[in-house]
A and B are shown apart, each in its own frame.
Chain A
Amino acid sequence: MDNLLLMMAPLFSSKLLLVLLFGTLFGLILGVLPGLGPTTGGALILPFTMTLDPLSAIVLLTSIYCAGTYGGAITAVLINTPGTPAAAATCLDGYPLAQKGEAGRALGMATVSSTVGGIFSVVILVFFAPILAKLAYEFGQPEYFALAIFGLTMLASIGEGSPIKNLIAAAFGILISTIGKDFMTSIDRFTYGINELSVGIGFIPVVVGLFAISEMLTQSTLLHQVFKRVALKAVKLPSKEDYKKTWKTILRSSGIGSFIGVLPAEGGTVASLIGYSEAKRFSKNPEEFGKGSIEGIAGAEAANNAATGGAMVPTLALGIPGSATTAVILTGLIIHGVRPGPDLFREQPDFLYGIFGAMLIANILFFIFGFFGAKIFARITLVPNKILWPMIFTVSVCGTYSLSQSILDVWIMLFFGVLGFFMRRFGFSVVPVIIGLILGELVEGTLRQSLVIFDGNWLIFFTRPIVVTFFILSFIALIFPLLKKKK
């Protein structure tokens, strides 16, 4: 009962409500604009959160996450281009249905299923995050090391693209985290005499570079593309028949999305693809998929929004991000002095339940905004890239510079922008780099601290049951794609 009251706290604070409203609107705009999204948007807005208290800052980031994930559906349905990667599966049926003159029905289903998926996942978050946090009390340094390795192998295994390329990207991300003074011995690594590198490479220049700047370069190769926007009169609530057809799919996809979200991977993107394919597998009319199936939209959208709450579970309970956007949220937590993990649940329940409540309200808010404002948000897609991207560049440069007031950060951002473009061009996902960078300190720190605690005895990694379990799971995660290919 107390926790429920704590969850409702954002409703009674005008400041938090304002932050939620702004975050939801901003998230929707980011989601609607192809190439942007909650990860880039969250990274761009991170410097501004420094003017807010920790709860407001995280509420802002999580509302952007929830609304941004849904916003991608509007563009997917109306211009056949996913606003966010998580909405890619929504294009498959959303656009064909819109072409049949039923854009309102398609968006109505996307809005309802996203909201149900989102709320379902918040419920999962409220129940499971504290349980996971309690389990984490049993964890020592070796267990955290094994958990981080498990997270990275899962990311490589179920993330988009080739598992080996994902592993290379993750190892590269961890390698970036080793730049600067070694935290145990203060010995410089990869600094090459540049003093500013002694403190390491910041998270924001890398994220903004890999997402925003590399996307700007990608857009420069797509200027010839012409988007045809399907006209939208109004968003329609699904009919009784549609509900009858889709309620099972929505519930199934909500479960799938929440589960996939908990695993460290590309969160909503993978969840929506699995949600979509499972909807097709269980459907009585699988032949309609790809031609405007309402079940297809429900399956993809419920799953990608359900992944938002799921991805917050390991982020808050263990400090292991469940997706690229939660990696940004985790950075937000850290720069505001909040250390995620079991202690957070014991010491700051008001803070945590405030976040849970805010996510719940954000899901309701984007339902309202999406339902009544989709037509207006759809207009945002008309902003031409030749105006939009130079503006995003300005915000990226200023935002990156602002955190440490270092011009070197801006060069680093540009370097990672170019690198990110070529990585994506040759099939390397940039998400593992981000997760690797954020987990790097944990991986190396826990490995070395374990060896210090146990007098350099490597056998501790093979004798402790939880560690061995995580290593076995990591091994399974690595060979799973190979077995799947052989099948």
Chain B
Amino acid sequence: MNNVRNKKRANKSLPFFFKDEFKVFSVIIIVSTILLISTFSFDTVPPILNRGIQPATFPKGLLVLIIVLTTLIYYLSFKKPWKKEKELPKNFFLTLLSFIFFIIISKTLDFFLAISFLSVFVSYNWGEKRFFYLLLVGIIFPFIVFVFFEMILGLRFPPGIITNLYYY
């Protein structure tokens, strides 16, 4: 019981800038402030055409609301600190890394290849070592999905070294 209590309160003993609530608060406030500043560069409608409010007013109101509410949850976290989340495992970061590879490969080489790569990469890192199943998730299944989308929806996938082979 004590262990559980200690774990839950562990967040309290950390310096404030390491606490989850501060990190979340900072990210939301920084992003909202940048967005709020950018709303001042929106074009405005001349007074004669302006019926109601300017296009920037509504997003400005929303961003101010988000900033106020975020400050409120941060203030409330002093009274009731958030429980500390478990550290993220290696597999999470590998999966995240695979997203970055996916973007790079689909942008530079081929969309199909990017899907195949991600599927094999994720499946392998999540523990699948059998060749047939890697082939299934990496090539057979994406190929079926590609053909299905192409035939049923008449979809044309972006050109790339493998996709071009299919089309020509």
Contact = CB atoms under 8 A, between A and B. Distances in A.
Interface of A: 47-48, 50-51, 162, 164-165, 167-168, 171-172, 174-175, 178, 182, 184-185, 187-190, 192, 216-217, 220-221, 223-224, 384-387, 389-391, 393-395, 397-398, 401-402, 405, 407, 410-411, 414, 417-418, 425-427, 444, 447-449, 451-452, 455-456
Interface of B: 20, 24, 28, 35, 38-39, 42-45, 49, 51-53, 55-56, 58-59, 62-63, 65-66, 69-70, 72-73, 76, 82, 85-86, 88-89, 91-92, 94-96, 99, 102-103, 106-107, 111, 115, 118-120, 122-123, 126-128, 133, 136-138, 141-142, 145-146, 149, 152-153, 155-158
B35 A448 contact: no
B75 to A, nearest CB: 10
Contacts, number: 160
A168 B66 contact: yes
A386 B59 contact: no
A216 B137 CA distance: 15
Q: By DSSP majority rule, is chain B's interface helix, strand, loop, or mixed?
A: helix
A221 B91 contact: yes
Contacts of A47: 153
A410 B114 CA distance: 12
A426 B20 CA distance: 8
A398 B149 contact: yes
Q: By DSSP majority rule, is chain A's interface helix, strand, loop, or mixed?
A: helix
Given A223-B126, A386-B127, A397 B115 contact: yes
A165 B73 contact: yes
A167 B115 CA distance: 36
B69 A220 contact: no
Given A50-B153, A221-B89, A414-B99, A187 B106 contact: no
A88 to B, nearest CB: 19
Contacts of A224: 89
A385 B122 CA distance: 10
Contact of A387 (B20, B42, B133, B142): B133
Contact of B69 (A48, A51, A171): A171
Contacts of A386: 122-123, 126-128, 133
A377 B123 CA distance: 23
Contacts of B152: 48, 51
B119 A391 contact: yes
Contact of B123 (A188, A192, A390, A407): A390
A168 B42 contact: no
A385 B91 CA distance: 13
Nearest to B142: A394
Nearest to A192: B38
Contacts of A182: 55
Given A187-B55, A394-B119, A397-B115, A407 B43 contact: no
B92 A217 contact: yes
Given A390-B122, A390-B123, A407-B106, 14 more contacts: A164-B69, A188-B43, A190-B35, A190-B59, A389-B122, A393-B118, A398-B145, A398-B146, A407-B107, A411-B103, A417-B99, A426-B85, A447-B58, A455-B51
Contacts of A50: 153
6 contacts: A187-B42, A188-B42, A192-B38, A386-B128, A394-B137, A407-B107
Contacts of B45: 185, 187
A51 B152 CA distance: 8
A394 B141 CA distance: 8
Contacts of A452: 51-52
A47 B43 CA distance: 35
Among all A-B residue pairs, the 6 with the closest Cβ atoms: A451-B52, A390-B119, A386-B126, A182-B55, A386-B128, A220-B95
B96 A418 contact: yes
B66 A390 contact: no
Contact of A393 (B39, B56, B119): B119
Nearest to B64: A171
B58 A444 contact: yes
Contacts of A174: 62
A393 to B, nearest CB: 6
Contact of B153 (A190, A395, A402): A402
Contacts of A402: 149, 153, 155
A217 B107 CA distance: 22
- Interface centre among B55, B119, B157, by most chain A C-beta atoms within 10 angstroms, is B55
Contacts of A390: 118-120, 122-123, 137-138, 141
Contacts of A168: 28, 66, 69-70, 73
Given A165-B73, A175-B63, A405-B155, A223 B91 contact: yes
A425 B85 contact: yes
A48 B127 contact: no
Contacts of B107: 407
B91 to A, nearest CB: 5
Given A175-B59, A393-B119, A456-B51, A217 B70 contact: no
B130 to A, nearest CB: 10
A134 to B, nearest CB: 30
B137 A387 contact: yes
A401 B141 CA distance: 17
Contacts of B128: 384, 386-387
Contacts of B141: 390-391, 394
- Interface centre among B53, B103, B118, by most chain A C-beta atoms within 10 angstroms, is B53
Contacts of A447: 53, 58
A175 B145 contact: no
A192 B141 CA distance: 37
A217 B97 CA distance: 11
Contacts of A456: 51-52
A12 B139 CA distance: 41
Contact of B42 (A189, A217, A401): A189
Contact of A51 (B106, B111, B142, B153): B153
Contact of B56 (A189, A223, A389, A395): A189
